[in-house]
């Protein structure tokens, strides 16, 4: 009995000592915490997915997405340029099956954004582009950077000097580059007079990895409506290339359309529906039509109607 009481007293005394020791060691307020120790405070801007045009295994520049800093247009552009650069800082997040094209060690010396024009001054490594890749580098830069909301055109400089010709082939470049420059270009004209162009996005499905590939076709001007030409191109039973697909049924008919400001309404027959009972249109159909028309007409939104009933909307803003 006496022994148990002694043990209990010792345990109580030990507990009291421990509590007093803890109270002594813990500071009474926040200011007692090592104020001489510097604290590094960083603001981390949230990331967004942005479109980037990279080389796929079929040697086409195709539209995919990577994560970028969404602080402003310039921060997005810098991150996307890193994604376009071989062994750049974004190399670990480039989707499987895609390649960057800008020469390794290419740096951005200066970049500015003014009046919807992005001007990029690259280091001299930019000139190390292989001649057979020159056009694709310009196409990738142009389509990637003008896909950023607010950027309409880009201007390229190297070591402070405006790039007026491609480094090796010496092909002349326009003063400012936009999507009118074209991408994955195919030439189907029979004479050098009265040449026109249009761009169509196709679907590529690689082991359930779905992405979209634009092709700019140069033809003799047929005085036809480009909206109808693009729909006809996508609905033809003869696909342009065996590895480029369109899921638009050959019997789909565009009944009429209305273009207003940054939006176009397309009115189709009901064969555009993949599920008539539930009024559903395949995502691949909406994307190929939507991306094609948004690029060609410089618009932001495509509204799909069936027999004058609104079914769905494709919006570039919702893709940002």
- pLDDT tens, 276-315? 999 999 999 999 999 999 999 999 999 999 999 999 999 9
Which pLDDT value is given to residue 194? 82
pLDDT of residue 298: 92
Q: Judge contact between 118 and 145, C-beta under 8 A.
A: yes
Going by C-alpha positions, the residue among 319, 318, 304 that lies closest to residue 266 is 304
| Residue the block writes with tokens 């480039």 | 94
Question: What is the model's pLDDT at position 40?
Answer: 36
pLDDT at 15: 53
| Contact partners, residue 49, CB within 8 Å, separation at least 6 | 65, 66, 67, 68
| Segments in the chain below pLDDT 70 | 1-46, 222, 237-242, 319-320
What pLDDT does residue 309 have?
97
Token pair recorded at residue 108 = 């951005």
Q: What residues contact 73, with CB distance under 8 A and at least 6 apart?
A: 113, 118, 148, 149, 150, 151
Say whether 291 sits in a helix, a strand or coil.
helix
**Beta bridge mates, 48:** 68
Runs of H (alpha helix) within the chain: 2-25, 73-84, 134-145, 226-235, 283-297, 316-319
């Amino acid at each position: 009995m006496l022994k148990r009481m002694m043990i209990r007293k010792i345990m109580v005394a030990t507990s009291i000592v421990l509590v007093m020791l803890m109270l002594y060691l813990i500071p009474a307020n926040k200011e007692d915490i090592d104020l001489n120790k510097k604290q590094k405070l960083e603001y981390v801007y949230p990331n967004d997915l942005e479109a980037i045009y990279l080389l796929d295994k079929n040697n086409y520049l195709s539209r995919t997405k990577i994560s970028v800093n969404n602080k402003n247009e310039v921060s997005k552009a810098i991150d996307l340029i890193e994604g376009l650069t071989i062994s750049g800082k974004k190399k670990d997040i480039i989707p499987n099956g895609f390649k960057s094209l800008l020469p390794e060690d290419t740096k951005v010396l200066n970049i500015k954004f003014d009046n919807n024009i992005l001007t990029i001054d690259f280091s001299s490594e930019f000139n190390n582009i292989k001649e057979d890749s020159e056009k694709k580098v310009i196409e990738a830069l142009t389509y990637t950077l003008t896909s950023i909301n607010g950027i309409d055109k880009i201007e390229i400089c190297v070591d402070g000097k405006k790039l007026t010709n491609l480094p090796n082939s010496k092909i002349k470049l326009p003063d400012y580059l936009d999507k009118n420059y074209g991408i994955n270009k195919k030439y189907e004209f029979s004479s050098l007079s009265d040449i026109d162009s249009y761009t169509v996005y196709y679907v590529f499905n690689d082991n359930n990895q779905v992405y979209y590939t634009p092709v700019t076709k140069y033809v003799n001007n047929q005085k036809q409506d480009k909206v109808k030409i693009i729909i006809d191109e996508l609905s033809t039973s003869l696909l342009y290339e065996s590895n480029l697909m369109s899921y638009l049924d050959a019997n789909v008919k565009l009944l009429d359309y209305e273009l207003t400001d940054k939006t176009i309404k397309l009115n189709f027959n009901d064969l555009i529906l993949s599920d008539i009972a539930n009024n559903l249109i395949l995502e691949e159909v909406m994307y190929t039509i939507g991306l094609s028309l948004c690029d060609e007409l410089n618009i932001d939104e495509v509204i799909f109607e069936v027999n004058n009933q609104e079914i769905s909307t494709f919006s570039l803003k919702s893709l940002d």
